Amino acid sequence: MQISKKILAEVRALFSIKSTKTTWAKAALTAISVGIPLLLGLYFDNVRAGLTACISGLVILYLPNTGSFTNKISTLLISSFGFILSFAIGQFFSFSHLASIIAFGVYSMLIHLILLQYKTAPPRSFFFIFITVLSICQPFDFNTIPEKVGLISLGLLLANFIILVHLLYLSTKANWRLEPQPIRIFQKTDYANFWEAITLGCFMAASLWCGYFLEMENPY
């Protein structure tokens, strides 16, 4: 009975709708940061480059809702570095299916464990893993790796610039001292579910293997 009640509670939680503290401005800024690189790609007749760069706009989703100006900018910069690292790892290990499966599984496990260790806020490891698998499923071409990583970096520069302008505008209207204290992005915890990270890494690797085994056009 206790097991069935727990299962029922989990199912109800899965389909429940909860309020969010995310502001409409974050959604609008994310849309702008994703849309501008894509529009530039269409304008210069290079949609592939625009699609690569527009992924960077998702970094704005890691912007904290509360906290000081410095906290928000530093969180976004750290997340931007994670985006670049995730994309670069995917590019370097896309030379063979076996290497990509192992690298993707190990990286998914490590990034999830690190974000559990430091108690980061949602969306946590989702977009880091998402960017890695998008990158790792692309055809391997060593000569184009700097170009693709550079496009991601340029998109991140644009997203950070947009957020910087937005925060500077807010700073003229708000008193940062009155903002609630945020949870530090590097607040280490003694409890991190190591087995959860291993399970996630194994399932990520198995999912990518299934995509390759079934010869899907987009294995991710």
Structure confidence at residue 179 (pLDDT): 54
List the chain domain ranges: 67-213
Structure confidence at residue 195 (pLDDT): 83
Structure confidence at residue 217 (pLDDT): 83
pTM of the model: 0.84
Residue 63: exposure state from Cβ atoms within 10 A (0-12, 13-18, ≥19): buried
Quote the CA–CA distance of 11 and 210 in Å, as a whole number.
Answer: 27
Structure confidence at residue 173 (pLDDT): 74
Over the chain (220 residues), the average pLDDT of each successive run of 10 is: 72 71 83 94 92 93 82 89 95 93 94 81 88 92 93 95 90 63 52 79 94 86
Structure confidence at residue 203 (pLDDT): 94
Quote the CA–CA distance of 84 and 111 in Å, as a whole number.
Answer: 13
Structure confidence at residue 119 (pLDDT): 67
Quote the CA–CA distance of 79 and 77 in Å, as a whole number.
Answer: 5
Structure confidence at residue 158 (pLDDT): 95
What does each C-alpha distance from 125 to 86, 172, 178, 215 come to in angstroms? Answer: 11, 33, 30, 27
Tokens of 12: 């109800």
